[in-house]
């Protein structure tokens, strides 16, 4: 069967349709450095509202975590240390749990005893806004803009993140 209909190329048309539909289905892109940070509100375990808009003028570290994510579990206690060292200098830490079951996150938090704000994003709405590419993912935000993005924390990530934050706090 010939796929040529006059000057119209059926093969090309099918290929273009498939590529277009693929692009439409996968159009979301992750929030990158230099982009405007998507605003959000999240509820904490105590019922408080964590609002990014309210902290817009500060240097903010947003961390997405989950109780089932091993590297995230390592990060949470370290964030307490970071809060102790840099909160007075102007750093605000907002962590967002993406656990579907809130009790899983709360169980972990009982041991961590966070000094920073912990919001819950059970349905992944905020994670979708940022379209985080991996777990854990952290975003350093200043004046509503994403200054740095950190993914897949490897060895020595603490030093790297702390240095970047200090640089922003001192600038």
What residue ranges bind another protein (CB under 8 A)? 5, 8, 10, 13-14, 17-18, 21-22, 25-26, 64, 66, 68-69, 98-100, 121, 124, 127-128, 131-135, 137
Cα 155 to Cα 144: distance, rounded to the nearest angstrom: 29
State which residue, 26 or 88, has the beta carbon closest to another protein: 26
Question: Quick one: which of 39, 148, 136, 56 has its CA closest to 95?
Answer: 136
State which residue, 18 or 49, has the beta carbon closest to another protein: 18
> Min. distance of Cβ 101 from another protein in angstroms?
8
Cα 160 to Cα 132: distance, rounded to the nearest angstrom: 20
Q: How far is CA 48 from the centre of its chain?
A: 20
> Min. distance of Cβ 73 from another protein in angstroms?
11
> Min. distance of Cβ 110 from another protein in angstroms?
19
State which residue, 6 or 156, has the beta carbon closest to another protein: 6
CA distances from 161 to 48, 63, 127, 153, 167 (A): 27, 12, 20, 10, 10
């Amino acid at each position: 069967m010939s796929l040529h209909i006059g000057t119209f190329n059926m093969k090309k048309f099918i290929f273009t349709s498939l590529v277009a539909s693929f692009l439409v289905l996968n159009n979301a892109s992750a929030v990158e450095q230099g982009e405007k940070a998507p605003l959000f509100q999240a509820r904490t375990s105590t019922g408080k509202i964590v609002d990014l808009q309210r902290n817009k003028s500060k240097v903010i570290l947003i961390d997405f975590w989950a109780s089932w994510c091993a590297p995230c579990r390592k990060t949470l206690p370290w964030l307490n240390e970071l809060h102790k060292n840099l909160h007075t200098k102007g750093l605000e830490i907002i962590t967002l749990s993406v656990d579907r079951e809130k009790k899983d996150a709360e169980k972990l938090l009982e041991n961590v005893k966070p000094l920073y704000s912990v919001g819950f994003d059970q349905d992944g709405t905020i994670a979708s806004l940022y379209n985080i590419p991996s777990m854990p993912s952290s975003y350093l935000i200043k004046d509503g803009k994403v200054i740095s993005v950190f993914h897949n924390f490897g060895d020595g990530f603490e030093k790297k993140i702390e240095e970047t934050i200090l640089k922003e706090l001192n600038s």
